[in-house]
Structure 1
């Protein structure tokens, strides 16, 4: 059985069963689509291994941690935010293990989009392609609004000025050749890493009494006002649990784009070796860059700090923690670290015509959507950022669900066809349990994301839309495409897993070059 359709990038998708594996045309298309460079032949393959590793390492460090965590701390308390970010970190580790195993076998451009067409349904791929595009386009004004909100800490000017400045920077970095873009991303990632390491060391010094006032803070704020917050004034364990549950939406935004190790699969040298290498480092990144950082924030800022509740830049617990001390240099670096071009580049526009190796239509689309950042010009800038943050978080969770679903279909197709996982380029640990636990957990989080709107007296149209809009969009795209093109879910027997395994076995990565003395100590991109 053969099914055809068009994915979000405009390319024809052909899925076929093992029965037709010897058909010349289908064989050629499978080989072409599996070639890591075929799908992006019009673009410049200028990303080196150090670029890919640093994008994967620091692509998620940004507004979700530095700015969005303020709302989570105020609503959940120190214990609530620490537990929420830790649990979400474990869940997205399951996502990364799943996409890492898939991308090592099928190193195609666009992350999960093409594997979803081969192992689930072309309609599933189409819906996810536009879901990713929607997510990235919404994240652009969210980042600009956040930057405009934070910069008010130093200079009080109209937000429109800062939105224009940051939009111009993001537009320029996307308009340059991919090599220049890679260098910008690489150095910004380095700044982020240095910032977050320095921030944590500074936090240790301050809590230990090394600040200007020599006050030893320790776990003071865990005792007063306490480890949890009685959310919405609901007394007892229920109120504390409700506050804890609100953290997941903030954490989803903070961890967004953690799966970018697969986005650059088609441009990665030796992807069957290097993608698993990046995937295995995710747990360490989560521990070092998020869990420890969130823990330090809980020591430095009380959950009832009045500045957390104001609708402007004071929502940033990092800025608050350093405003309590004369040293504000880490806050300055914090602002600069928000300008990450990686998050502002919708990957699904990579299949359109290019100029100088740059997909110009995608760059122009970025420029158009940046205009939404001007919504932050009013005094409700932080409120705008909150709405956009929730929209991005919902789209991100949908994307993670697609990854887990695709992986499980792939996993059980191999099992159905009697293919040993030992034949894979990389066999991810804890599977399929990690994918199942992540899938079920994320479904629950997604469906309960706007639970407060169903509590009597707490209805909010904005909250309801931001929490559930993307579910409707994804469903409309999926069923609309499915009805129009009459696609069917790929059965486990007809899934082309055997052919992809054969291709991987016949085309292994070149031997790894001996590492230099420096590389042995380089934990960032060595």
Structure 2
């Protein structure tokens, strides 16, 4: 299969006929490289092992991104924006992410490589944009891992234990780094079962939430829409409260796009990635919207400890308490802890692959691309984990306050990434049309060109206006920085790399649409389906999820 490391490395040479070297979709042979060691050392992307099965990839796509944003972030959103604000914001952001995933799935199915959309930004738009976006998203994932570690401290306060929260975070930090450094199979299997647990929990929550609202609570009281009519509800905090919910919604949905980063280690990505995009994301959207609706109906926005500087109580825990006893609350709180571990595991994996991609594309020192015997970029794992450790180590200022700031930073970073994915998709399609290769797409984005353009424009608007609450009723410098620091950072990295390397916007006729194109191997499709009763169980799981 033609999976060269990067679009800008190496010196291709002609390959003789009948050499036994596989050709790509276009009948072209992949380039081999001359003896230039300085360039050849970067040709490493094909060393990542494709060990993530369809079962693991689909479940990771369903549940891997469900974490602290949904389980804890909805509490902050409810307190600051009210029930109507969070419902509207989650629907709008969900539509944006769905459109983004269609665009990303189209590109990733055609060119399935580690780094995915970050590499696409460089290959299809400008190398400087790829540089800025990859470093930004790598830091995003490192901070996301840190926010999950901090969330552990918040969840732990539910039991009023004397066990220090930072110690629990440290233990989980070692677990995450250990799992990610062993083998990608260990990551995939852990993420599969943790994601499955989260999906089952949310299904139970939805059923329970409906029962609680209808009167199946300890007070045997029909709640209905009472909490939407409290003083100040359903829109709390005016325009500032409504705008601020978008960034926490973006934090909650964030990571959905990172499933494409697994493309470099996914079996038969040309078939599995489109399946993930088409058959999975709408289920995630369903989980988010229904959960947020039930939270807004059952939990008053002025509930104590939804979001404070020292603590945060999950609305999921509150609903389980309403349904039964303290034991029910403790159960769901324990499940939330496992979801935090899952989200941190997913973020660390994605961040590691991005740092690896930076080394491959010569945007970072090449030693970050070193692999261990299990083909895992172990130096990248340790580096990303170390940055996460430094971030959660700052939680002495108040775990709840730090977690809120990190939410804002990660949320805006996610929106910037979605903008870049939309721009890359528009350029990718234009390049295909110019070179007459559109018919070769294994999966087409049916919303093109309106979907990508809608996503880009709406995300730009959200990035600019969602920091309204930092200006009103009085200016908050720290909140302002958390909302807008990502914008100048991205601009500085983009302009700086462009000036230093003198990069140019890629011309459509020169766009690389041949390197790394995946070719299905003989018999590979047959391996997707197990024979006998195992195959029937696999089919049932795919149908349900």
Structure-2-length-normalised TM-score: 0.84
Which digits, 9 at most, give the CA deviation of each residue in 1:214-256, with x for residues without a partner? 222222212234652341xxxxxxx2x4322221100110011
Match of 2:309 in 1: 311
Q: Deviations over 1:113-166 (max 9, x none)?
A: 222222111111111111111111111221111111111111233322222222
Query: What is the CA–CA distance in structure 2 between the aligned matches of 1:465 and 1:277, rounded to whole Å?
Result: 39
| CA separation of 1:400 and 1:39: change in aligned 2, threshold 3 A | farther
Unaligned runs of 5+ in 2: 17-27, 34-42, 361-368
Tell me if the contact between 1:416 and 1:492 (Cα under 8 Å) persists in the aligned partners.
Answer: yes
Q: Residue in 1 aligned with 2:57?
A: 52
Greater mean alpha carbon deviation, residues 315-324 or residues 72-81: 315-324
Distance (whole Å) between structure 2 residues aligned to residue 414 and residue 297 of structure 1: 45
Bigger CA drift: 100-109 or 364-373? 364-373
Q: What is aligned with 2:299?
A: 301
Q: Which residue of 2 aligns with 1:143?
A: 148
Distance in 2, matches of 1:138 and 1:524, equals 35
Q: 2: CA distance between counterparts of 1:307 and 1:511?
A: 52
Query: How much has 1:52 moved relative to structure 2?
Result: 1.2
In the superposition, relative to structure 1, how do residues 362 and 184 fare at CA in structure 2: closer, same or farther (>3 Å)?
A: same
Instruction: Name the counterpart of 2:404.
Output: 386
Residue 395 of structure 2 corresponds to 376
Please point out which of 341, 346, 350 is paired with 1:342.
346
Structure 1 position 14, deviation (Å):
2.0
For residues 522 and 461 of structure 2, what CA distance do their matches in structure 1 show? 40
Rounded to whole Å, the distance in 2 between the matches of 1:175 and 1:519 is 28
* Residue 29 to residue 58, structure 1, CA distance change in 2 (3 Å): same
Q: Provide closer, same or farther for how the CA distance between residues 318 and 311 of structure 1 changes in structure 2, counting only shifts above 3 A.
A: farther
| Cα contact 1:203–1:300 (8 A) shared by 2 | yes
1:85 — aligned with what?
Answer: 90
Q: What are the superposed Cα offsets for residues 255-292 of structure 1, whole Å, 9 maximum, x if unpaired?
A: 11101231111222221111111011344223322011
What is the CA distance between 1:451 and its match in structure 2? 2.4
Task: Describe the shift of the 1:418–1:182 C-alpha distance in structure 2 as closer, same or farther (beyond 3 A).
Answer: closer
Give the corresponding residue for 1:214: 220
Summarize deviations over 1:418-453 as a string: whole Å, max 9, x none: 44x343111121111111100000011112232233
Equivalent residues of 2:268, 2:520 under 8 A apart: no
Asked if the contact 1:48/1:269 (under 8 Å) is kept, the reply is yes
Secondary structure at the counterpart of residue 264 of structure 1: helix
TM-score (norm 1): 0.87
1:49-89 deviation line (CA, Å, top 9, x unaligned): 21111111112100000111111111221111111001100
Cα distance change of structure 1 residues 409 and 44 upon mapping to structure 2, 3 Å threshold = closer
Residues 45 and 504 of structure 1: is their aligned pair in 2 closer, same or farther, counting only changes over 3 Å? closer
Q: Deviations over 1:188-217 (max 9, x none)?
A: 111111111111122122112222332222
CA distance in 2, matches of 1:525, 1:130: 37
Secondary structure class of the residue paired with 1:308: coil
Give 1:496 deviation, angstroms. 3.1
Number of aligned residue pairs: 496
Question: Mean alpha-carbon deviation: is it higher for 265-274 or for 300-309?
Answer: 300-309
Q: Which residue of 1 aligns with 2:448?
A: 431
Q: Does 1:445 align with 2:462?
A: yes
Query: Which residue matches 1:404?
Result: 422
User: Structure 1 regions of 5+ residues with no counterpart?
Assistant: 1-10, 33-37, 232-238
| CA-CA distance at 1:294 after TM superposition | 0.7
Q: Secondary structure at the match of 1:307?
A: coil
| Structure 1 residue 29, shift from structure 2 partner | 5.8
Q: 1:153 to 1:505 in 2, by over 3 A?
A: closer
Residue 108 of structure 1 aligns to a residue in which SS? Answer: coil
